[in-house]
Amino acid sequence: MSDRYAVLGNPVAHSRSPDIHAAFARQTGQDIEYGRLLCPLDGFEAAVREFAAGGGRGCNVTLPFKFEVPRLAARCSDRARLAGAANTLRFDAAGWFADNTDGIGLVRDIEHGAGVPLAGRRVLLVGAGGAGAGVLGPLLAARPAEVVVANRTLDKAHALVSRHVSWAREHGVRLAASALERPGDAFDVVVNASASSLQGLSSPVPPEVLGAGALAVDLMYGAAAAPFLAWARAAGATARDGLGMLVEQAAESFHIWRGVRPLTAPVLLALCASLAAAP
């Protein structure tokens, strides 16, 4: 029987993770089966325990349960501990292991997918929810000159920044929190990790945040990302959606479970083509 994995969330029907992991499994010759599991909003822990008891080997966790994952695990990676949230569980017999692969997925997509090294750059991170929390630590570890975290609820940006102060100092990065209205001008990289695109908005921050030739990344993808991407292009930036990050974070989870690292570029190409062909 194939080893079983799944993505757990609510909603989860839209998730492309099963297609991505099926492609990784074909490419690497791993015998796995990967499905979607819709969890009741008040029933995540019961659902994940039932999946593990039924023979599951590990899972991904998506909205809105990522903050519930660390307390279920016997061991957390440093990046999951720093984020206070995790998107990957491996059901080890000795105790579950939790990790957060979102941030390393974003960093790989920016540096290798978009070809923009982060070292020495000025970065604006918009959003301090689950995604913002997951990506901040790995962004800092890439040693940009500065990261400003801007959030609609300013207190949450401050809280996220204060959790990362020592990590930022260790990596020589200036780190600050800001409201959305005036986070600063002319950043080299702007990451929209807020849910604004889900609500049909173009951008939660003013166009002055984009420096000449800036890279603007929306973690959203598909039609919902189009207004942000159009806003970024109109301001002269290079625009990128969240599909590259989605494939990269999945590859890191696959590596955690299977010990092999799949090639991401062909899987991203196939995913883009299938989304473009979708009605």
- Count residues binding ligand NAP (CB under 6 A): 27
Tell me which of 100, 194, 203, 264 binds ligand NAP, using CB under 6 A.
194
Tell me which of 75, 143, 152, 255 binds ligand NAP, using CB under 6 A.
152
150 part of the interface to ligand NAP, by CB under 6 A: no
**Residue 60 near residue 253, CB atoms below 8 Å:** yes
d(CA 15, CA 218): 17
Tell me which of 127, 138, 144, 211 binds ligand NAP, using CB under 6 A.
127
Residues 216-242 as b/e (b if ≥16 CB within 10 A, e otherwise) read: bbbbbbeebbbbbbebbeebebbbbbb
d(CA 119, CA 140): 9
Which residues, 6+ apart, have CB-to-CB distance to 269 below 8 Å?
Answer: none
Residue whose beta carbon is closest to ligand NAP: 129
92/208 with CB nearer ligand NAP: 208
Site string for ligand NAP, 45-84 (x = CB under 6 A): ------------------x---------------------
**What is the DSSP code string of 173-218?**
-EEEEE-SS---S-EEEEEE-SSGGGGT-S-SS-GGGEEEEEEEEE
16 part of the interface to ligand NAP, by CB under 6 A: no
According to DSSP, the residues that pair with 3 across neighbouring strands are 32
145/201 with CB nearer ligand NAP: 201
Cα Dmax for the chain: 55
156 is catalytic: no
d(CA 128, CA 135): 10
Catalytic residue among 57, 66, 79, 90: 66
CB of residue 104 to ligand NAP, shortest distance in Å: 11
Q: Within positions 237 to 266, which residues make up the interface with ligand NAP, using CB under 6 A?
A: 242, 245-246, 249
**Residue 183 near residue 205, CB atoms below 8 Å:** yes
Q: Please report, as ranges, the residues that interact with ligand NAP according to CB under 6 A.
A: 63, 102, 127-132, 151-153, 156, 193-199, 201, 204, 219-220, 242, 245-246, 249
Give the residue numbers marked as catalytic.
Answer: 66
